[in-house]
Structure 1
Amino acid sequence: MRRVPWTVGLVALAAGLRLVRVGAWDIGLDEAYSALVAARPLADLVAFVARDDFHPPLYYLFLHLWQTVAGSDEFWLRFPSVVFGSLAVWVISRLGTELADARTGFVAGLLAALSPLHIFHAQDLRMYALLLLLASGALLFFVRGLRTGRTGDWVLHAGFLALALYTHYGAYLLVAGETLAVAWLWATRGPLPVRSWMASAGIALLTFLPWSHVLWQHLRRTAPPQAADGILIPIQQVAYALVAFTSDFLPPGQPVLKAAVLLVSFAAALSGARTLRERPASAVVLMCTSLGALGLAALVGLRLQTIAVGTHVLIPRTLLVASVGYLVLLAAAGTRLRPRPLGWGLLGLLVVLNLAALPRVYLGPRPLWGPWRAVAAYVAERIREGDGIVVVSGHWARPFDFYFGPRAKPVRIVRYYGRQDLGRVRDLVAHSSRVWLVLRQPEAVDPHGRVVRLLDSVARSPSQFSFPAGTRILLFTLAHRSQPIDTRR
């Protein structure tokens, strides 16, 4: 195989798949959070992330600069993720070539290019595509450093690893996997450039030291008071991640299919490691940085059961780093298993599963996040001096804030998260002639309808405007400042 043409072809394929409909849907919940944080003044951005977020600041700093170019356009805001995700495919293919051979490298890159999980995050205004690129680069130079011992490889390893740590705490999975691999190889294979690795990893960790106290505060703030009961939940989450690494976005409600994918892919990964028996160091590195790292993550999951937003910490995106070695193991199984038809059948199955999942990546669930650009434009075009806005949708207020902020005159907005905000709503009502009530999943934060009842008690029957995905706007003209209702659409 000629290396340059197929590498270029893989990157082109990856970019093409990641560009499909990348600007077709509105900015979603977490994406709006990224954009709003990045829009803060630079002096305040890092302090806000340290105080109120659960991620390191590098991606937000990058996005702060990129937003000056991209503005609020969905395509251009997401475009860097497309670039990061496409370049990660090239790095993964190089990793497969380093650890096995050119054929395995090509197939590893192909599986990464077709991965629904990787495509999803390469179309997302979040830090996960950047994490994947940086962690893959760090792993590539780790492998080269072990093989050649060159100082340049270890310097690049330290640089990529430090940047990955400042992008997402999931990069610690790579640190854990590398530690396992070095310990295993040192115990079983004798001399290794252990000091070089320790110096390289140590430099990366020292570079991260200024932020480590923030990480400690995050852990103290979000760790439950007691460890989780049993290891069943962490194991379930790791198993779910392995399914997602193999082929995410499988048809919903198909537990038998997902169990079959898990068993087949896990067996294939183990077989891939066995096919590398003439390169035992490669098998050790891949096993430790994928399955070994996931095993350690399950142990961590016993303690860190949830993160700040109440989501389980062991979800595919936080474990994304481990998918790199796992995909290379699957590629090794597909290209090196004997008899050959068995490997070809495995590759065919993986390609078919991933291609079949792509419509679900492109058509759902993101288009269901809500037409927030249209909602914000509708309000912005009709709002007038003396109006107020109440958003009853919990954290769904973030996309509304993102789209409404740049286009509207200053107006008071109350974001209702619970009964504790009712006083702020009353104060807004007392100083407004009309109130725009934006509703999206109001039952989550106002199950008893207190806000609607309050507005009904002081206003005319509202005008109502409905949008897709269950989003509604109610326009209340208040009795104490009666004015005509603007019903233009």
Structure 2
Amino acid sequence: MVYAWVKRSAARRPEAVAVLLPVLVMLVIGLWGLDRGGMWRDEAVTFQVARRSVPQIWRLLHTVDAVHGLYYLLMHAVLAPHPGEVGLRLPSVCGAAAATGLVAALGVRLCRPRVGLWAGLLYAVTPMTGHFAQEGRSYALVAAGAAGATLLLVRAARSARAGPWCAYGVTVAATCLLHEMALLLLLAHAATLALARVPARVWRAWGLAAAAVALLLAPLVLVSRSQSVQVAWLSRTGLGSAERLLAMFTGPARLVIVPYLLLVALAVLPARTPRGTFSLPAVALPLVAVPPAVLLTVSRWWPLYDERYVLYALAGAPLLAAAGAERLVARLPRPLPHAVLTGVLAVTLVLAVQLPLLRQDRRPDRRPDDLAAVSAVAHRELRPGDPVLFLPSLARRAALAYPKGFRGIRDIALSVPAPASGTLYGLEADPRELRRRLDRLDHVWLVAAPFATARAWSPGSPTERAKLAVIDERFVPRERIVRRGVTLRLYVRRPTYILAPPTGRPRPGLPSVGRAGPGALGSPPGPPR
């Protein structure tokens, strides 16, 4: 018995190494530079919502961000002991590591250990994986759930018991509750079953699991549709969208893209497989192709697409590349000595080519904005008691994420704070009350999002329009400080003898008010992402 156990353990050792080594590499990449010293806007939303009480989070989900509800509740538990940027991003690191291990496990199960090793390592060193491993959002966890559900599908289809199908359904449901765009995973799995030519009993079992998931997710889909204003910033897709996604899935360097695509093409060449057999291409090709293709196509008319929404589809790309490498090795006229090591060295070369991109990605300025830098400027320029006007209200996110820089200031427009109001940024005064508050001021600091400083911007909210109108009518700018993602401007009450309309620049001859800060003469940043 002992001999048999030792023999089984020795046989499984290559499989364990094939899974654990990529996980270790992913952990190193994910933990490298994890504390960037600043959150960007989406991470700030996670941070401030997760620190609310559970009833406050539940109230928020009725008005906004229902699609992220489960993730916010999870992060509430994670951040409760010690809130901070490392804790905010650590679940994503763990999710990326789990996804890496599951990709490797799929390669091992569907082909052989060295294919799993190559696929797992290639997944770990892909810049897109490393980027979302360090995002305080749900996408890396969704990728782990999708990879796990795919592995469970392969196992369940080979079993006559109900238990594996229940595990599959629960995993898919949990993944979709983390982000509803993961529902497209069911279409990929349906394509896999069709390519594998599974018997009718497998289709019935999968259909029951898929129906249960759809039924469970229906309320979330209905609620999120009523909150579709949250994705109003998305644009229609085109050929450029597909090209950018391809570069993200493989890595942008041409030295990587060309061999990568050649290996994928080699992997998907037709091959005879017994009916009901799950080949690696039959699993990986629908996973990498179906969800992005569906979302890109739909978004040509109804914009719903963003690269992060299909991060989970990335898992199929390294599996196909590894399968192509295996076919290439098998077709060589002579056996390739040290084939495993050769593949590992090839992935190491990919890492070396893409290492500069991974290094740059650890800098705060690689995100759309840096709210810590905004708070630092506010801490230097503002004094306790200074009146501050946020334009629009979402510009308040820097103060919510990093309140130290805004401590003691007077938020002129705010009526009900964000947690108590069940909103992301709080409820603001009506236009009449806002005018009354501003009429009592001789100066005010404006904290504005970049797009709010553009003359073409026309806010839909009456309160936002009132902010612009009062500032134009009653105040003149004296100082401007530009930081990536936000502009701080000091306005002073317009002297009664100045009759000309405001020009948007400091007027000569008026006494200087406030302190000149760095960047005061900088140009405003571009439109929001």
Normalised by the length of structure 1, the TM-score is 0.78
Instruction: Note the alpha carbon deviations across 1:357-389, whole angstroms, 9 max, x for none.
Output: 212322351285351331343467x222xx421
Structure 1 residues 470 and 235 mapped into 2: Cα distance closer, same or farther (>3 Å)? closer
**Counterpart-to-counterpart distance in 2, 1:294 and 1:241:** 9
User: By how many angstroms is 1:263 displaced?
Assistant: 6.0
Q: Which residue of 2 aligns with 1:175?
A: 186
User: By how many angstroms is 1:213 displaced?
Assistant: 2.3
Q: Which residue of 2 aligns with 1:45?
A: 57
Instruction: Note the alpha carbon deviations across 1:71-122, whole angstroms, 9 max, x for none.
Output: 2x22222222112112221111111211211111111111121111111111
Q: Which residue of 2 aligns with 1:400?
A: 399
Q: Which moved more, 1:207-216 or 1:407-416?
A: 407-416
Cα pair 1:393 1:444 within 8 Å, conserved: no
Structure with max Cα Rg:
2
**Counterpart-to-counterpart distance in 1, 2:157 and 2:488:** 60
**Counterpart-to-counterpart distance in 1, 2:194 and 2:477:** 71
**2:20 aligned with 1:8:** yes
**Counterpart-to-counterpart distance in 1, 2:228 and 2:448:** 33
Q: Which residue of 1 aligns with 2:98?
A: 87
**Counterpart-to-counterpart distance in 2, 1:177 and 1:31:** 29
Instruction: Note the alpha carbon deviations across 1:289-332, whole angstroms, 9 max, x for none.
Output: 2223333333323442x2xxxxxx33321111211122211121
Secondary structure of 1:362 counterpart: coil
Q: Which residue of 2 aligns with 1:246?
A: 250
Identity of aligned pairs, percent?
Answer: 22
Map residues 28-427 of structure 1 onto 2, 5 A cutoff: 28-53=40-65, 55-71=67-83, 73-186=84-197, 190=199, 193-218=202-227, 233-247=237-251, 257=254, 265-274=260-269, 281-282=278-279, 283-304=281-302, 306=303, 313-338=304-329, 339=331, 347=347, 350-363=350-363, 364-366=365-367, 369=370, 371-378=373-380, 382-384=383-385, 387-392=386-391, 395-404=394-403, 408-409=407-408, 411-414=410-413, 426-427=435-436
Structure 1 residues 428 and 111 mapped into 2: Cα distance closer, same or farther (>3 Å)? farther
User: By how many angstroms is 1:174 displaced?
Assistant: 0.7
**Counterpart-to-counterpart distance in 2, 1:222 and 1:400:** 23
Cα pair 1:275 1:336 within 8 Å, conserved: no
Structure 1: 4+ residue segments shifted above 6 A: 219-224, 420-424, 448-453
Q: Which residue of 1 aligns with 2:484?
A: 469
Question: Size of the alignment, in residue pairs?
Answer: 454
**Counterpart-to-counterpart distance in 2, 1:295 and 1:79:** 31
Q: Letter of the 1:22 partner, please give it.
A: L
Secondary structure of 1:438 counterpart: strand
Normalised by the length of structure 2, the TM-score is 0.73
**Counterpart-to-counterpart distance in 1, 2:245 and 2:475:** 51
Please give the root-mean-square deviation of Cα atoms over the aligned residues, in Å: 4.0
User: By how many angstroms is 1:171 displaced?
Assistant: 0.7
Instruction: Note the alpha carbon deviations across 1:126-182, whole angstroms, 9 max, x for none.
Output: 111111111111111011112334433222211110111111122112111111222
Unaligned runs of 5+ in 1: 251-256, 307-312
Q: Letter of the 1:469 partner, please give it.
A: R
**Counterpart-to-counterpart distance in 2, 1:268 and 1:427:** 68
Q: Which residue of 2 aligns with 1:438?
A: 447
Q: Which residue of 1 aligns with 2:34?
A: 22
